[in-house]
A and B are shown apart, each in its own frame.
Chain A
Amino acid sequence: MELFERNAYELSDMLKNKEISSVELTKSVFERINSVEDKVNAYVTLNEENALKTAEQIDEKRANGESLSALAGIPIGIKDNISTKGLRTTCSSRMLENYVPPFNATVMNKLEDAGVVVTGKLNMDEFAMGSSTETSYFKPTCNPHALDRIPGGSSGGSAAAVAACEAVVSLGSDTGGSIRQPASYCGVVGLKPTYGAVSRFGLVAFASSLDQIGPIGKCVKDVAMVQSAINGRDNMDATSACREYTDLSANLKADVKGLRIGLPKEYFGEGIDNEVKTSVLNAVKELEKQGAVVKEISLPSTDYALSAYYIISSAEASSNLARFDGVRYGYRTENYDSLIDMYEKTRSEGFGDEVKRRIMLGTFVLSSGFYDAYYGKAKLLQRRISEEFNSAFKDIDVIAAPTVPTTAFKIGENIGDPLKMYATDICTVTVNIAGLPAVSVPCGNDSNKLPVGLQLIGNKFTEQALLNTAYAYEKTAGGFIMPKL
């Protein structure tokens, strides 16, 4: 087995026992990138030189007997909307094509302290707006399991890179499903943490009340390791929660005896592909075999969640993206005859169509005369959705559902129809609306050999229970399947 194929926790032990060096491991990952990246297109920017430098430094520290974290020397890819000091951060947009952040996101400071090796910046839908990575200004990313299909989005590069073993683990961000949905399509594990568990400082904002950074890995344990390295209170993000966190990876237990699992009937109805439904229900049966207790539940407002999500997220996006005006950073148009002319040309040339649609939708729902009918109603529905989850969690511990209604679709299949694209988020948006944690873990394939994901949703700050459940399933029935590339 090649080094690039291995899981982070195995590599961590091998590094610790000095069976391998971080330089060897990093070289192995870059060899893999060199051999498959032109097929997958997961990266926007590669960071080979600096990665090898960091790997050398970590090896030196280890040789000197310094105490190092479990992630020290592990190659990790970063979604291109997370600010990396000195390393181009484009959000896959023309607007930020040449933007080099003068500061690190808090998660990057934490990962640098942990000694990770950053392989590069990963492709995404422009400003994280999309579900297929096709709205990237630079290029579409391909699904490593079927190169003519999308990897999902918006963290499509992050999921595809891990699935193609072009990074051992990666960071993504999830506003309406952007970690879980591509993880499901690419057959890897993706965790969307509780809102407030991970600092958003340095994450280029899309919808600030919904955005959350989280890890993607080939297995549950890897995801637990990375999550424990990035969570925690941060003074630079006023919405980050003040609480102590335990080590998710050290406390990982494949034990679901007595765990109460709820199956929300609204997540298994119309529009959910039969093969996806069967795979997810089989995974739940497996957990039942191991001692979990399964019962049907109802979350009646799920049908309205997509509307509430697109109103709230677009409203926040229209405000957040007002900063891109061609003055302080980013693209500026060449010819203009006034300030307003410069703003309008800069933004029209710098943003792609999907970003423009979201900005305009957000502007519309917030505009005078329409605010109460759209934004006000959506915020009230948001509270109702949260209340329905709260009431469900009185009788159950974990909710099981599909991550996505179907498996990965073909590149180009839905790009011309925004509504069809938005509908792929139907199973994931409620989690962001309610600020809950959720994980997607591979649970088999459909008849086209495309991966299916089981989504597990928990109450706030129950990441350990979610990961334990995912781990219990993974150990007996699931696990990463290497794509043939």
Chain B
Amino acid sequence: MSQHTAHIEEHRDDEASKLGMWLFIFTELLLFGGLFLVYSIFRMQYPVEFRECSLELSVTIGAINTVVLLFSSMTVAMSMTAIQKNDMKKALLYIGVTLFCAAIFLVNKYFEWSGKFHHGLYPGSELMKLLDRGHHLYFSLYFFMTGLHALHIIIGMTLLFVCFFKMKKQSIHSQDYVLLENSALYWHLVDLIWIFLFPLMYLIS
């Protein structure tokens, strides 16, 4: 019976894993696509209010976060290159930098959000209920979309953490790095969504 055991574990198909990740990325794009659709419908209805609200956001913090994420996308790509060249030290370093950037992004997000919370502006708050339609919708969408995006940042970070430890244990190496490649793909997706969120939320004033 032994010839029947563990055929699944031995089977390795990197092409399949990558194709699977790309398909999963399609589903993520459609998930956010629904939100972008709702955003565009309500922005068409309340263009003035949306513009007023976006003045409340700090373009500086948003811009810093954009640069940080773009930079982290670059470092994760550099880590890929390093591992292909069998330079484990650099690969680990670049993943570390990526994770650091992700943490900066979340810290900035934390300050942004807590500033809003401090002013009584959070989903379900008394102040939100007093706002008129357009303002209420803008901030609801703002919290919903950036919140969902932050959740994706956390998922991406978890994936990269796993890669980091697997690289340390040498179970990801120059001959077998599809997990890192997929995590990097996912990280680029998270970055890409932010590239759309940033202008739509911050730069419409």
Are A and B subunits of one complex?
Answer: no
